[in-house]
Structure 1
Amino acid sequence: MNLGTLVIMVTLLVYFVLKNIRVLLSQQQRGRRGRLPPGPVTLPIIGNMHQLILNKPAVFRWIHGLLKEMKTDIMCLRLGATHVIVVACPQIVCEVLRTKDEVFASRPTTFASGLFSFGYKGSIFSPQGEQWKKMRRVLTVQILASSMEGKLHHLRKEEYDHLVRYINKTLSSDMACPINIVNIRHVTQHYVGNMIRRLVFGKRYFSDLPASSASWPGHDEVAHVAALFTVLNHLYSFCVSDYFPTLIGLDLDGHEKVSKDAMQTINRLHDPIIEERIRERSSTLEKFGEKKEARDFLDVLVHLKDAEGQPMLSLEEIRAQTAEMMFAAVDNPSNAVEWALAEMMNMPEIMQKATEELDAVVGKDRLVQESDIPQLNYLKSCIQEAFRLHPYHALNVPHVAMADTTIAGYTIPKDSHILLSRLGLGRNPKIWTEPLEFQPERHLNTANVLLTDPGLRFISFSSGRRGCPGISLGTSMTMMLFARMLQGFTWTKLPGVKSISLQERNAGVALAEPLVLQATPRLAAHLYI
């Protein structure tokens, strides 16, 4: 951040504080009733906001540096009138997500979360209330029910097959590049983009290309995936206006325009499909007067009825839930598989164990299927380790305290934001031996390895009232991406590359540069057709 921008932000912040000093003081007093968790020294009124501004865009690194410096697993920051509680201890996380889950079942309201949820019409970002309950029921009972997962298995299988064909076609199509280079980030991100579009809209492409095509993603598909990741990177990103809402509209952080542009792209691509499906519903009802079998998630949303037989969801609710399903699906599988492969390139013995397990469980005469996942414990432990060590987000989606309460013996004032640290848990030396080392074997302690940790020593899929209801689907998407890539191809470093750089981005914990590897098919040719 340049000096001029900083001066402008601080000046406006001081102006706002002076204008609202009585309100801020009264709210601040509420945090003094009991013993707050430890935290850095605060300034009057603005708290630690000046430090947050100075540490953008890598605010999470400043936060984790404070946790380490203060030698604590729970910390309180004050950003304006808001107490922000950061937790990096599994016992305290269990208290938040289990013992006192009901108290922490709300979400903060910010410019970005309101924009991305169409005014809190969906289930993920909405504050606790009737709208959230309604959409959460729709998601858990209708969309992510096991029966629906079974009905759409054929769509998932087509995408697993497309993945293998796509990589193989990439290798054989570029005559100018004889060393079979594959951009892993491109492949993994567009796999999840294809998958979630098939499940939600019933189609891989926004154009009318056949679903069986092994074509490369077009302009719209590239723009769609980029917009989804832009949204994820700007959601709850410590904007000044998140804590001083009066400043919304000034776009001091530059995030408002970026967020609006991303949503404009998403709406441009989603809205015609949603509107056409609603018109189709109306004509179908008039013509046949009967319910059709749902072809995809959008069909479910469009055809839901209330007690009076009327459409249950409004257009805005359908738009919101459709977008939120996209947001929830794309980051974890693609990031975990890219990181796992990067780590394994530097430790070939782990890659060998993984491929030996695939050959023993599945063989080389057929492609791995979802039904094989329970037996692929070593592969699952590799993904577990990627989730632990390399989450896509350093911090979980915030929870909000709906009443004054306590955790770990500390006072937590009403309206506090609770941030559960994925990095602080997964890399905590009090919990893990050699926490910065990629060691899949540490998870091989059960007959059926799962991608979640019951003790919340790391967070892959969140739990509790605000937990992820799509664990089964997320597991299948992630594991089949990983298993098909390992079974179908031998992956090696590019010529002249001694080791893969594991450097993280400054403003995030994804790999700083996309992973690029060399691939060679390892199965019979007919399996790639």
Structure 2
Amino acid sequence: MAFLVLLLAFLLFYIAKLMYQSITDQRSTKSRGSQLPPGPVPWPVVGCMPEMLSRRPAFRWILGWMKEMDTDIACFRLGNVHVIPVTCPKIAQEFLKKQDAIFTSRPLSMASRILSSGYITAVMSPYGESWKKMRKVLISEVISPARHRWLHDKRAKEADNLVRYIYYRSKNSGRVNIRTACQHYSANVVRRLMFDRRYFVDKIIDDGAPTFREEEHVDALFTTLKYLYAFCVSDYFPYLEGLDLDGHEKIIKDAVETICKYHDPIVKERILKWRENDGRVFRDENEFKMMEPQDLLDVLITLMDANGKPLLTPEEIAAETREIMMAAVDNPSNAVEWVMAEMINNPEILNKAVEELDRVVGKERLVKEEDIPNLNYIKACAREAFRLHPFAPFNVPHVALYDTVVAGYRIPKGSHILLSRRGLGRNPKVWDRPLEFRPERHLPNGNAGNRQECSSNEVVLTEPDLRFITFSTGRRGCVAMALGTTMTIMLLARMVQGFSWEKPPEISEINLEESKHELCLADPLVACAEPRLPLHLYQYSEKEHIHHGTNKS
């Protein structure tokens, strides 16, 4: 009974605080003489939370309201937080280019706090010293051009394993689950870069398939991505955290526990290996040699500060490995699954991609990373997938550090800014026939199919004008553009070059409907694959990488 009374008093205090803040905010708005962006009329205290909870998923309700009201910027008050979605590139550039310094922070949320171990990572941390430190580490030590070259052979192993995996699937059943192939290729690449291993066991599987451990790991990664910044009730009413009213908290904790189950033993063992003997390994009783870093985990562990002490704590290392793994698996796998679905339904697009690969690469070797600059049509297909079929409905939220004015509207301090990946990419004021999958719109000097012609002879995946989002821009933009481009294009190019693809004979066409609660395909893409290259190219072994790899630096 005493607990209920205490809880009621606590809630009344919190409601009174919210009402006071709401009144203060309204007075501030009037005093500045500028209005908030248009939005639904909020309820007292709770704002638009009742509508959000009754119209899940929230992103479809938000974007549907904006379309109905014909507005490119809106304001939805959730609790005492102003959530401001944007679907116009010019307004988006005001936020992330013109006033980027004001919008460099991230919101505090249940999921991001758990995933980042209390905001000690680069992507999810609010503006502050921890973010500055970890971002500097990423830029200078993890994704620099030199480091990208150094990791080349590890990526190449997984590109070859992808081909081998699809080949065995095609020979065994004739059918390939493309979602599985794409997601596990992406996870394998990052696992290889981070831990120098594909599997969480030492055994190498001949057909390159994941074991139940890797399947569980990938499922947990995609679960965390689904529920990160997913309009959790406690993110707008922090005092309710722990009650888990919408079930998000248990889901996130279980998924992170699974990821840590696989990551933490590797991290702990490696830290001990490096730090117990100051990085020395003994050849015999009287002689030793210094170890050399072999992967990104070694790099993070061996970083030193100005005093010669470890730069990163074990907690920072473990948290950043999780964040890097999460940040790299979703967009390449989702984009390529959608491209393959669109191509199989439209053989003309698929044939153009095959023709380019045969012309640029030929059929006597597999496509390599060095070929990417010359694969404009393949890259145009990937760009079109990022435009039309993004993985996430919004980018990672930006938070206003100060009151400001954007597009003539007042943006209060603390507002959450959401650039709509879906809204930007499908904005009919920017794109002609926006719902059509037309890679040609991205080709230089071609039928662009949009209202801004391409200006470069080489197609790239970046989109600095924010007509759609691949890597975003500004201080909080993705810093791993080279890795993201390489993973996406190698995944798509190897699948298209290596195999002929057709829909299963029992269906008339691939179902392109979206999942009800997400933007991925409603059903995982399954298609028939037939090898189209000389047999020896499908039997490239791990040993050949050992003999021929260069481990470039």
- The 8 Å contact of residues 30 and 413 in structure 1, kept in 2 or not, is answered as no
Name the CA shift for 1:382/1:130 in 2 (closer, same or farther; >3 Å): same
2:47 matches 1:87: no
Equivalent residue runs for 1:46-445 within 5 Å: 46-56=46-56, 58-172=57-171, 174=172, 177=173, 180-210=174-204, 213-285=206-278, 287=280, 292-445=291-444
Deviations 1:227-282 (A, max 9, x none): 00000000000011111100000001100000000000011100000001101112
- The 8 Å contact of residues 279 and 290 in structure 2, kept in 1 or not, is answered as no
CA distance in 2, matches of 1:137, 1:29: 40
Q: Tell me, which stretches of 5 or more residues in structure 2 are unaligned?
A: 1-9, 282-287, 445-455, 540-553
Name the CA shift for 1:164/1:409 in 2 (closer, same or farther; >3 Å): same
Deviations 1:160-192 (A, max 9, x none): 1111011111222x3xx4xx0110001100111
Paired position in structure 2 for 1:513: 523
Equivalent residue runs for 1:449-464 within 5 Å: 449-464=459-474
Paired residue type of 1:252: L
Paired residue type of 2:377: Y
Secondary structure in 1 aligned to 2:219?
Answer: helix
CA distance in 2, matches of 1:305, 1:456: 37
- The 8 Å contact of residues 368 and 484 in structure 1, kept in 2 or not, is answered as yes
* Deviation of the 1:291 alpha carbon: 5.7
Paired position in structure 2 for 1:37: 37
Name the CA shift for 1:291/1:95 in 2 (closer, same or farther; >3 Å): farther
Point out the more displaced range, 377-386 or 274-283.
Answer: 274-283
* Deviation of the 1:40 alpha carbon: 1.4
Secondary structure in 1 aligned to 2:141?
Answer: helix
Deviations 1:490-526 (A, max 9, x none): 0001012111111001111100000000000000001
Paired residue type of 2:248: H
Paired position in structure 2 for 1:495: 505
CA distance in 1, matches of 2:500, 2:126: 47
1:17 to 15, 18, 22: 15
CA distance in 2, matches of 1:114, 1:93: 26
Equivalent residue runs for 1:469-484 within 5 Å: 469-484=479-494
- The 8 Å contact of residues 344 and 351 in structure 1, kept in 2 or not, is answered as yes
Name the CA shift for 1:270/1:499 in 2 (closer, same or farther; >3 Å): same
State the percentage of identical aligned residues.
Answer: 54
Name the CA shift for 1:20/1:60 in 2 (closer, same or farther; >3 Å): closer
* Deviation of the 1:290 alpha carbon: 7.5
CA distance in 2, matches of 1:104, 1:434: 32
Name the CA shift for 1:71/1:162 in 2 (closer, same or farther; >3 Å): same
- The 8 Å contact of residues 58 and 231 in structure 2, kept in 1 or not, is answered as yes
* Deviation of the 1:342 alpha carbon: 0.6
Paired residue type of 1:208: D
CA distance in 1, matches of 2:439, 2:12: 50
CA distance in 1, matches of 2:326, 2:254: 16
Secondary structure in 2 aligned to 1:102?
Answer: helix
- The 8 Å contact of residues 19 and 44 in structure 2, kept in 1 or not, is answered as no
Aligned length in residues: 511
- The 8 Å contact of residues 161 and 208 in structure 2, kept in 1 or not, is answered as no
Paired residue type of 2:238: P
Q: Tell me, which stretches of 5 or more residues in structure 1 are unaligned?
A: 1-11
Paired residue type of 2:457: A
Secondary structure in 1 aligned to 2:100?
Answer: coil
Name the CA shift for 1:312/1:66 in 2 (closer, same or farther; >3 Å): same
Paired position in structure 2 for 1:4: none
User: What's the RMSD between the two structures over aligned residues?
Assistant: 1.6
CA distance in 1, matches of 2:376, 2:170: 29
Point out the more displaced range, 102-111 or 80-89.
Answer: 80-89
CA distance in 2, matches of 1:324, 1:511: 25
Secondary structure in 2 aligned to 1:97?
Answer: helix
Paired residue type of 2:41: V
Secondary structure in 1 aligned to 2:209?
Answer: coil
* Deviation of the 1:45 alpha carbon: 2.1
- The 8 Å contact of residues 337 and 482 in structure 1, kept in 2 or not, is answered as yes
Paired residue type of 1:197: R
CA distance in 1, matches of 2:289, 2:323: 29
